[in-house]
Amino acid sequence: SHFQKNVDTTLTDGSSFNASMQTSPASMINQYKFEEDADTKDIFVTVDNPESHVTAIETYITYRVMTKTTRSEFDSSEFEVRRRYQDFLWLKGRLEEAHPTLIVHPLPEKFVVKGMVERFNEDFIETRRRALHRFLNKIAEHPIFSSSEDFKIFLTAASGELTSHKKQGPGFLSRMGDTVKAVAAAVRGVRNRPQEFTEMQEYVEAFSQKIISLDKVTQRIVREQKEYLEELKECGPTYALWSQSEEELAEPLKNVAGCVDRCCKETEEQVKNLSDHLIPVLHEYVLCADTLKAVLRRRDNIQADFEAKTEALATKKANRDTMRDDLDKAEDRLEWANNALKSDWTRWQKVMRTDLRSAFVDTAERNVSYYEKCLAVWESFLHSQRTDAEGNGKVDFS
Amino acid sequence: MADSGSEAIAVIGNTDLTPSESENNLKNTMVEKGTSLLKKMEISVAEAEKRTGKNAVNMQETYTVYLIETRPVDAASEGTNPALDSLWRRYSEFELLRNYLLVTYPFAVVPPLPEKRAEFVWHKLSADNMDPDFVERRRVGLENFLLRVASHPVLSSDKIFYLFLTEENGWKETMFETGFQAKADSRLKALNATFRVKNPDKRFAEMKHYGDELQSVISQLLRVRARAADRLYGVYKVHGNYGRVFSEWSAIEKEMGDGLQSAGHHMDAYAASVDDILEEEEHYADQLKEYLFYADALRTVCRKHELTQYELEMAVQDLTSKKQQREELATGTIRTFSLKGMTSKLFGQETPEQREAKLKMLETQIEEGEEQVKERNAECDEFVKSAWVDIERFKEQKDHDLRESLISYAIMQISMCKKGIQVWNNAKECFNKM
């Protein structure tokens, strides 16, 4: 990878920005010029093996997180830990705090209330597991996030260690201070947003709408398929019932009943595939769109803060030295944020393209497979009728 | 048009039959089995047209007429195109013809007409009799009806049927001259009355039961199929929304734009393909419907047999009671209660002359009764014989036709699957370019 490792870019405390640690803005851009090179992938993470835990207070699920790596900063080459959803949330929060204008892949939602999906329903757990797996892999593939100390601890620490590490970090009051600053900045609003970020925002708005539409369309398809399945399920038994009144026709009718039933099973699987594979990915990118909006907002806030400080310096007479200091820091912070966002934006677009492309290709492949299986069912029926008829000497196929 | 002189087409070898081809196969089978009528003429219902005119109560109405075309089959003039005869008929005229056949040949399983009103429709299909799709399917059904009658060993030689096909005017008058109308009315009354047969013929009872079951199960199948078709339509059409969204999305993307746009077109094609698929399935539904109505024709024959049997039983019962009366009168013993008997007992016996007169009358009645029983017996036997021949013929036809229908249904499903494979493979290629 091509980013400079000697600069510690992980900021566990987002508010204390040490400008002296940084080199020139140009080199900062270089820092973020990273190209994905699959051959140099040196860390592999999997999430599997959900298990439920029952305590006096609650029941929850943990997942096994396995890591295999050749990186020198890891003490060993293999790790196995168990993590629960809360831990993933914590990790995401830490990454966002440290890198307000980098794009963190979304986590699956806490709890799907609509349709009353039971939290411990097998399908729900499996869908969540896959999403958590994707999340960690996105982090591992990210040049900045993957070297995060919090990420390392998440992958390697025993449960007790993780709990105590979680308790560190910026206290409640300093977090409150950050929030107040952010709100103040938001209220102020940004005045001279660079065109490229406005274009980004427009893109994100449009993209968000499109991906939400795709999610809705896909869910509608699933609904229609399920209703089709309900009706189709009655066809087979009707043919079977008919066969009971017939003599010569009994065999072909029973055969058709069997074919319809088999097609029903394939349709059922087809519906499940859409629900299990395409919908979660579309859903993730709906959440991504929200993440992007938040990132753009945070960038705007950083700029608004800089603009406010610029104005203050121009108008106020007292404390000019401190203010100038603050202004310099704010300027650096803004430049840093802008460059980080620009690079990560490019990276994100590539990843999005790959993800959505492979999700749709996968869907198309599954549809082809569905039709191929149904085709085979009906062709075998035709074949049986052909050999039957030839056997009975009824029809001449020559 | 059925092409004359062709052999049976192997339905299964060619898995890409169009609906008109499958119709042809049925026709060819009928032509092949060749009644003398079909051997000398080709019959088709070529067109349908809307007409307006005044009806019986002098009100303006719109109706559809169908063009019946007949052409002599002349092997010698293969090269030339012999003249077409044609005439227009309304659906109601077909109904009249069928009623005539029902009354005149009560033992025959008379081919049914296509439905009077659209039933088992799913939402997109129109229930309107004027709808062009409905009219077209009815045209095909009417042609089928004519060919079925023309290929029936008994019905095909009926004179009125021949006139129906060849004489535009005067057909109705000739038909009414046969006096079938009167028979129809009395038969109808008798059939609708409830009566019980003492010794039902087991075979006919089973046939009637089969007719009931067939009617019930085909109705169920048609209902279920229509609902499934409705749902399938929805599934395909929603994919059209993918087309729209992909197209909109491609507008904001640079590298992904082309792939998305072309994938969207395939989604539109997929959504549009369901119209043809379901239209083909309607042909299958029509084939099932024909046998739904055939089931009714079968039940009618069984019912008529019951009536014949009942009338025989009534005649026998009547004769027996008359014979008993004669015996009582002759021996003076009264075994049967009669008001006359009681009053004569109460108010005095009748004179020997009166008794003699009565006996004589009874003798005549018994003679007549015995004639009637003999007649009815012969009628019954005749009916049973002819009906059973036609029922056997019908069974064979049904088994053959329905098997063909199931095969054509499978072929349709295969075609649908092949289309699906093609569309999604195309879409996949486009997605790969995203």
Per-residue pLDDT tens over the stretch A83-114: 999 999 999 999 998 898 899 999 988 765 55
Q: Return the higher-pLDDT residue of A7 and A346.
A: A346
Per-residue pLDDT tens over the stretch A232-275: 999 999 999 999 999 999 999 999 999 999 999 999 999 999 99
Query: Mean of the pLDDT values across residues A32-47?
Result: 69
Of B15, B414, B428, the CB nearest to A361: B428
Query: Mean of the pLDDT values across residues A340-362?
Result: 95
CB contact at 8 A, A295 and A108: no
Of B225, B263, B410, the CB nearest to A378: B410
Which pair of tokens denotes residue B406? 């199931």
Closest by alpha carbon to B225, among B141, B287, B134, B133?
B287
Of B12, B399, B409, the CB nearest to A248: B399
Per-residue pLDDT tens over the stretch B232-264: 999 999 999 999 999 999 999 988 999 999 999
Res B118: pLDDT: 81
Res B3: pLDDT: 42
Q: How far is CA A31 from CA A24, A27, A143, A223, A350, in A?
A: 11, 6, 10, 47, 18
CB contact at 8 A, B27 and B2: yes
Domains observed in chain B: 186-331+358-433 (1.20.1270.60)
Distance, C-alpha B393 to centroid of its chain: 15
> pLDDT under 70 in chain B at which residues?
1-34, 74-82, 123-127, 332-350
Of A217, A239, A256, the CB nearest to B241: A217
Distance, C-alpha A375 to centroid of its chain: 35
Phi-psi region of B349 (alpha: psi -120 to 50; beta: other; left: phi over 0): beta
CB contact at 8 A, B273 and B423: yes
Closest by alpha carbon to B249, among B237, B267, B229?
B267
Res A21: pLDDT: 41
Q: Hey, which residues 172-231 in chain A have their CB within 8 Å of chain B? A: 203, 206-207, 210, 213-214, 217, 220-221, 224-225, 227-228, 230-231
Which pair of tokens denotes residue A256? 């058709």
Contacts of A263 in chain B (CB under 8 A): 413
**Residue B54: Cβ-neighbour burial (10 angstroms; 0-12, 13-18, 19+):** exposed
Which of A21-30, A50-59, A290-299, B394-403 is the least confident region?
A21-30
Q: How confident is the model at residue A18 (pLDDT cuts 50, 70, 90)?
A: very low
Res A46: pLDDT: 95
**What does the DSSP assignment read for A295-313?**
HHHHHHHHHHHHHHHHHHH
**Beta-carbon separation of A378 and B413 below 8 A:** yes
Q: B404 to chain A nearest CA, in Å?
A: 10
CB contact at 8 A, A232 and B228: yes
- Phi–psi pair at A76, nearest 5 degrees: -140, 175
Q: How far is CA A195 from CA A202, A209, A345, B195, B252, in A?
A: 11, 21, 15, 93, 17
CB contact at 8 A, B67 and B187: no
Q: Hey, which residues 314-373 in chain A have their CB within 8 Å of chain B? A: 353, 356-357, 360-361, 364-365, 367-368, 370-372
**What is the distance between the alpha carbons of residues B114 and A206, in angstroms, rounded to a whole number?**
54
Of B221, B411, B432, the CB nearest to A242: B221
Q: A201 to chain B nearest CA, in Å?
A: 12
Query: Mean of the pLDDT values across residues A160-189?
Result: 69
**Identity of the residue numbered A105:** H
Query: Mean of the pLDDT values across residues A39-66?
Result: 88
Q: Hey, which residues 36-55 in chain A have their CB within 8 Å of chain B? A: none
**What is the distance between the alpha carbons of residues B327 and B335, in angstroms, rounded to a whole number?**
9
With tokens 């121009």, the residue in question is A314
Which of A190-194, A290-294, B120-124, B425-429 is the least confident region?
B120-124
Closest by alpha carbon to B224, among A241, A245, A256, A238?
A238
**Beta-carbon separation of A238 and B221 below 8 A:** yes
Q: Return the higher-pLDDT residue of A116 and B282.
A: B282
Query: Mean of the pLDDT values across residues A133-152?
Result: 92
Domains observed in chain A: 40-159 (3.30.1520.10), 189-387 (1.20.1270.60)
| Alpha helix positions (H), A248-278 | 250-273
Helix (H) or strand (E) holding B67: strand B60-72
Mean per-residue pLDDT over chain A, rounded: 83
Res B432: pLDDT: 95
Contacts of B402 in chain A (CB under 8 A): 249
Per-residue pLDDT tens over the stretch A307-343: 988 888 888 777 788 888 888 989 999 999 999 999 9
CB contact at 8 A, B294 and B112: yes
**Residue B344: Cβ-neighbour burial (10 angstroms; 0-12, 13-18, 19+):** middle
Contacts of A230 in chain B (CB under 8 A): 231
**What is the distance between the alpha carbons of residues A89 and A162, in angstroms, rounded to a whole number?**
13
Sheet holding B85-90, edge to edge: B41-54, B60-72, B85-90
**Beta-carbon separation of B238 and A220 below 8 A:** yes
CB contact at 8 A, B322 and B365: yes
CB contact at 8 A, B417 and A371: yes
DSSP state, A150?
H
